[in-house]
Structure 1
Amino acid sequence: MALTTRQRTTLYTAIADAIGTEEAGLLLDQFPAREGDELITRDHLATGLAEVRTEIAEVRTEIAGVRTEIARMENRLYVAMVSISVVAIGVVTALTR
């Protein structure tokens, strides 16, 4: 957890007299000043990785659904094309007689 400016100042003031100002500054440098300065932990990394894997699984499920829908449309299109071809052949046959 990052220290607030107030917490850093209070801590610095409390320890500067005991160990010196330079050492107190060096010690405070070891604590993150902002949330973004915190080191990532294995738990944070594992949680983030699990979230990414979940999202990837959801995307794969959606892609599978799209593939199924495309296959159904392909079948319908094939049936429609065959039907139109049969009708066209019938019309041409009727007109040539």
Structure 2
Amino acid sequence: MATGSRAERERRFWERYRNVAISQGVKPKAVRWYVVRAERFIAAYPGRRLAELGAEDIAQYLTGEGQKSSIQDWQFRQTVDAIEILFSIAKAVRSPLDLA
């Protein structure tokens, strides 16, 4: 059974996310935006755990993001990278977090 409150588990998850992003070369000033993009992805699938989401869900989300006229190429790439980091961490967690 997981220890700590849900809020504490989420805080630790996002702290780990930030650390992984920086270790993968994301500039500290940009990490906030990676978190925002990852949170938007999670929010697009309310009530679903990351462990339940697959390639089709990711493709659907990215297709929608790519069709927005307001998004620039670098922002789309940042979104892709943010989701990749998100799933790299989610796979490493033994018991999936319900961040929805």
What TM-score range do you get, normalising by the shorter chain?
under 0.3
TM-score by length of structure 1 reads 0.28
Larger radius of gyration between Structure 1 and Structure 2: 1
- The structure whose residues are more often helix, as a share, is 1
